[in-house]
Structure 1
Amino acid sequence: MHYLELSCRALLALVFTVSAAGKARNTASWRSFTRSLTDLGIAARWAPPAAVTVTAAEALTAASLVWAPSARIGYMLAAGMLLIFTTVIWRTVRREATVRCACFGPSGAPMSRRHLFRNGLLLAVTAGGWALARPGGAHEAAGVAIALGAAFTAGMLVVRFDDLAALVAGPPRTRRESAR
């Protein structure tokens, strides 16, 4: 079971690392993220410090998950962050506001129910990893390689979730096509 926990930890560390890096990648990404915070209702003067706080918390979460002795702290941080993000997305969807998801950097995809689904899956991974986390234990190289490979694959599916959802859904319909 410790290989499954390692996969959970690695998947979450990857997702939070890519999320923080996507926001801080360059000036345009940072501005896009800060603008998305104002679109969510944060006052313009508070958006830059909020952006720093969110990005730093994501980086801290990822770092906490990398090192096994701090994994429990990392899982708690991940759960807290995901619950906050899910609440914000839920409120945005409920208000029927069009706010671009800046989860992994600039995006054209507005926040929607599919983001709630994605975060629900990440919360399940977090809960599973927390439940399986045990200190110590020996790991064989082959098991570690498989666990990390699975985590990387799943993590990339999470990071590219909007693109995959758009691919499956097909091109957006015009109002005329939707009325038929």
Structure 2
Amino acid sequence: MSAQLFAAEVLRYFVAWWWLAAVLGKLRSWPGFRTELGASFGVPSAAAAILAPLLILAELLAAALVLSPASRAGMLLSLVLMCAFSAVLGYQFLARGIVRCSCFGESVRPLSGYDVLRNLLVAGTMLGWLALAPAGGLAPGEALVAAGFGAWLCVAAVHFHDLVVLGKTR
């Protein structure tokens, strides 16, 4: 196993966990997610009823493709989705100041500059994978370790705002 292959696999699993965490968060707070589409982004209720499940399906598709033999296509889809979501969130954040996206189920805390930065870092991770990803795979035990590191990175990324604020208070 090469270090480059292992790092690429960690990033691949991180992106898959990222989308799965987003899907689970949205499903866990389904009414809040649909409401925030209207309140923070101006999407009419009827359109939100259609758009909300489509967003979840797009995220599920990205996760499935990232984990499949078509992982390059999945990572490209992930990058497009991440850039689109970040552009919309960033614009709303700059234009309106207070935005709640319920991206991972949270609805109490509004979007912060740290969330925008995190999204840019995640998009950079996707670009990094596209640049790093060598052909080949890991042995099952190595893949399990890579998946664990990817999950750890996902938890840190989802809670990036809280971790930065906690670090600043110490």
Could you tell me the TM-score, scaled by structure 1's length?
0.83
1:158 equivalent in structure 2 = 157
Q: Partners in 2 of 1:165 and 1:110 — Cα distance?
A: 15
Q: Which runs of 5+ in 2 are unaligned?
A: none
Structure possessing the higher radius of gyration over alpha carbons? 1
What displacement does 1:169 show?
5.0
Q: Is 1:18 matched with 2:17?
A: no
In the TM superposition, what whole-angstrom CA distance separates every residue of 1:68-91 from its partner, at most 9, and x where no partner exists? x11011101110111111111111
CA contact under 8 A between 1:89 and 1:112: conserved in structure 2? Answer: no
Q: Tell whether the 8 Å contact from 1:101 to 1:108 is kept in structure 2 after alignment.
A: no
Deviation at 1:143, TM superposition (A): 3.6
Report how many residues are paired: 165
Tell me by how many angstroms 1:167 deviates: 2.8
Which residue of the partner structure matches residue 47 of structure 1?
48
- Report the Cα distance in structure 2 between the residues aligned to 1:98 and 1:169, rounded to whole angstroms: 22
Query: How far did 1:138 drift?
Result: 4.8
- Distance, in Å, in 2 between the alignment partners of 1:124 and 1:79 is 9
Q: What pairs up with 1:134-145 in 2 under 5 angstroms?
A: 134-135=134-135, 137-141=136-140, 143-145=142-144
- Matching residue of 1:177: none
Residue 142 of structure 1: how far off its partner (Å): 5.3
SS state at 2:73 partner: helix
Contact 1:109/1:162, CA 8 A, preserved across alignment:
no
Work out whether residues 9 and 146 of structure 2, in 8 Å CA contact, stay in contact via their aligned partners in 1: yes
Indicate yes or no: 2:79 matched with 1:79: yes
Contact 2:37 2:101 in 1 (8 A): no
- Per-residue deviation at 1:116? 1.3
Write the mapping of 1:24-43 to structure 2, written as runs, cut at 5 A: 24-25=27-28, 29-39=29-39, 40-43=41-44
Aligned to 1:8: 11
- Give the whole-Å Cα distance in 1 for the aligned partners of 2:77 and 2:44: 25
Identity of aligned residues (%): 28
Instruction: Identify which range, 153-162 or 2-11, moves more after superposition.
Output: 153-162
Unmatched segments (≥5 aa) in structure 1: 171-180
- Partner in structure 2 of residue 114 of structure 1: 114
